[in-house]
Structure 1
Amino acid sequence: MVRLTVPRVTVALLSALLLAYAFAIAPMNGAGERPDPSRALVAEATAAPSPAVSPPAAVFPPAGKTFVGVATKEGPHDFTPVDAFTAAARHQPQVMLFGSGWATDTFDPALFEGISDRGMLPMLAWEPWDYRLDEEAREKGTERHKIDKLRSNQPDYRLSHITRGDFDRYLRSWAEGIKALGHPVAIRFAHEMNGNWYPWCEMANGNQPGDYVEAWRHVHDLFEAAGATNVIWVWSPNARWSNSTPDLAGLYPGDDYVDWVGLSGYYGMGAFSKYRTFDAIFAETIKEIRTFTGKPLVITETAASDMVGRKAEWITETFRSLPRHADIIGLIWFEVNKERDWRIVSSPAVTKAFAEGVADQRYRFTWSPDLIPRTELGD
């Protein structure tokens, strides 16, 4: 005995309707004949199903969220400081920034995979210079202004030498390696270019106006040609510290060459030795940047010292300020004891202030390799 189920009843009703249409409603064909109802039934049964609508890809960071990442002296060579930061902050960093110098470092996939496996987007601070000159001068106790002059004078790493192809073989080795990783990698190439303390700054090392943009575009185009399209390009000047700072528009490679705009700025050192709030340090430069690009903004390096005993206060105020900046999608804390102790583990009060600030739901989400980087504020 045949049981009538909902599908069987539906098919029977459809068949009856089609037969009625064929004999009573449908017009005759050109030969004076009515269409064959069996063909109509076959066509209905074999018609291709409507394609499923895929949900939109998830982006990083999600709308209304801000990631909080970390940078350490050891980088992915030793995750002990990252573990200490994570425990103190009671927060899993979504991004990890680490540096690499062209004179000594070759591409090592293990460094990137080590970061990714811990649930963090790798961000490479890629530096065209020999950083050993800087380290040797520090070990000798050389005065800071002399260190800046020493390390910024490296003619082999002049920007024009990058553009003319002196480093192309080296660049391709990294492009091919990053492409093979299969997950996003952020590259902060030649940061703080508006200063005078690195050999890639236009105010140092015999560089000329326009050289920085040409070098950036050369590096970017070489990666594109190699098929390394999984790179998030991060252009990252230093926060304006005086009226003598060059205009940033002339150093910007253009929206076609940049995905995120970064900024470095610290409280408790140099021009910012006296107490200055987060907005006092960054707002003027952000306003200038917004005159020539609307790309998402990341504070790629920041921290505070306790030289006047207001480090915890500065941290609390910073986390209160961030939600007012809808265009800031991320902040990376410089968890290093260098020149000053910038770490959040420097005192119980500082640790408490940071943990309370980052506990807000705005900063609570995770990174995974399948997320699509947010490269436009409207994404």
Structure 2
Amino acid sequence: MVLIGALLLTYAVAMAPTTTFGGREDGQSDRLAKAEPGPPPRPAAELFPPAGKAFIGVMTDKGPHDFAALDTFTAAAKHQPQVMLFSSWWASDTFDRTLFDRISGRGMLPVLAWEPWDNKLDEAARKKGLPTREIDRIRSNQPNYRLSRITGGDFDPYLRSWAEGIKSLGYPVGIRLAHEMNGDWYPWSEASNANRPGEYVKAWRHVHDVFRAAGATNVIWVWSPNARWDDSAPKLSGLYPGDGYVDWVGLSGYYGIGVYTDYRSFDEIVGPTITEIRTFTSKPMVITETGASDAKGRKAEWITETFRVLPRYKDIIGLIWFEVDKELDWRIVSSPAVAKAFAQGAAAPRYDFSWSPSVLPRKELEK
């Protein structure tokens, strides 16, 4: 009997389920753990602009301070711009959240043209009716805004105040810092204001690093030279801060001013500079300023041709129109024929999408 009991006890122990400290069978626990569904995968973030699309943006004289010109442009273009570019000057402007929120509230990505200078010198020179090159000389000579002072930290408290403000927005913001640096008409150009070669890149990286240290990771950094006007223009590679400091490369190019007074197509104006830029970076490109005058009566024709060739530039993800009557009338509302040409171009499906604060900026070109 003792032997039989021992055998039965051994059998019971061998066949009984082992348990975890939670009291469940080990085998069952493993099977259940494998069967239990995990959290659903997060959907891929929507990118701006979407694949195969390009945005149309606008810059007006008063920007978010007064939307009257924006409304007129939108009605003429029969298109809701997805981006608004506006200017701010270090000598006079402090961070104002209202301006960014007004733009985003209209369904547009705010892009700040952030300019380290005192623009009042420029305004005063223009009121005197001085020649263009004399105005350039006056406004570019501002020792208080030399590049070495930016790199040296003289403006760091000011930079941090903007970094903290933009960080608090919680949605993406473009910063086109110190644009058209390859000219000689601004005090941040290496060709003016007693600046030296290499100082532009150092100043750009310093500003970028102040924002990064503040945690302002919602910035789209937009590096934006002027379209090459002749062979005397400096090489752009020496002015490029590097892909680690730039998200979009921009470009300013107009028809009907300076060396472009005679008719020159969009291809002729921007093509050589784009080719040059592509030798050192493949970052997405935005035409950050463009417009056309009607001095030769071919403004509508130029706009039509521009919209026709734009799809060939797969690396251009957006175009910002300079809707301002300044020096010349660049606006699309300058005539019904011009407005019609722009509206027809903007009606293409590739521009039909919207911006929202939740989308992420496309920082790499489509594969």
Q: 2:15 aligns with which of 13, 33, 44?
A: 33
- Matching residue of 1:370: 358
Give yes or no for the alignment of 1:215 onto 2:209. no
2:136 paired residue number? 148
1:264-303 alignment to 2 at 5 Å?
264-303=252-291
Amino acid paired to 2:182: N
1:36 and 1:214 mapped to 2: Cα distance?
67
Which residue does the alignment assign to 1:139?
Answer: 127
Match of 1:19 in 2: none
Cα distance in structure 2, aligned partners of 1:214 and 1:36: 67
Aligned match for 1:85, one of 36, 55, 73:
73
Per the alignment, residue 236 of structure 1 pairs with 224
- How many residues are treated as equivalent by the alignment? 352
Matches within 5 A, 1:93-132: 93-132=81-120
- State the distance in 2 between where 1:43 and 1:163 align: 59
- Offset of residue 52 of structure 1: 1.2
Letter in 2 for 1:157: Y
2:171 to 168, 172, 183: 183
| Structure 2 gaps, min length 5 | 1-9
Aligned to 2:3: none
Deviates more, 1:187-196 or 1:136-145: 136-145
Structure 2 SS opposite 1:86: helix
AA partner of residue 66 (structure 2):
D
Q: Distance in 2 between matches of 1:107 and 1:52?
A: 40
- Note the alpha carbon deviations across 1:316-349, whole angstroms, 9 max, x for none: 0000011000000000000000000000000000
Once residues 36 and 253 of structure 1 are traced to their aligned partners in structure 2, the CA distance between those partners, rounded to angstroms, is 64
Partner residue, 1:23: none
2:53 aligned partner: 65
Cα offset for 1:143?
A: 1.0
Q: Tell me whether 334-343 or 44-53 shows the greater mean CA deviation.
A: 44-53
**What is the CA–CA distance in structure 2 between the aligned matches of 1:116 and 1:157, rounded to whole Å?**
30
2:189 corresponds to which residue? 201
Which residue matches 2:340? Answer: 352
Q: Cα distance, 1:285 vs. partner?
A: 0.3
Q: Which amino acid aligns with 2:15?
A: E
How big is the shift at 1:34?
Answer: 6.0
Report the equivalent of 1:13.
none
What is the distance in 2 between the residues matched to 1:215 and 1:41? 63
Q: Residue 304 of structure 2 aligns to a residue in which SS?
A: helix
Deviating runs (4+, > 6 A) in structure 1?
A: none
TM-score normalised per structure 2: 0.93
For 2:306, what is the secondary structure of its paired residue?
A: helix
What TM-score, normalized by structure 1, do the two folds share? 0.90
Cα displacement string for residues 155-206 of structure 1 (whole angstroms, at most 9, x for unaligned residues) = 0000000000110000000000000000000000000000000000000000
Superimposed CA distance per residue, residues 96-149 of structure 1 (whole angstroms, 9 cap, x where no aligned partner)? 000000000000000000000000000000000000000011111111110000
Provide, for residues 330-378 of structure 1, a one-character-per-residue CA deviation record: whole Å limited to 9, x for no partner: 0000000000000000000000000000000000100000001000003
Q: Which structure 1 segments of 5+ residues have no match?
A: 1-27
Report the CA distance between 1:44 and its aligned residue: 4.7
> Match of 1:110, SS?
helix
Give the deviation of 1:45 after TM superposition.
5.1
**How far 1:41 sits from its partner (Å)?**
5.1
Q: 1:278 offset after TM fit, Å?
A: 0.3
Whichever residue aligns with residue 154 of structure 1, its letter is Q
Q: 2:215 aligns with which of 227, 245, 267?
A: 227
1:190-228 CA-partner distances (Å, limit 9, x unpaired): 000000000000000000000000000000000000000
- Report the more deviating stretch, 31-40 or 222-231: 31-40
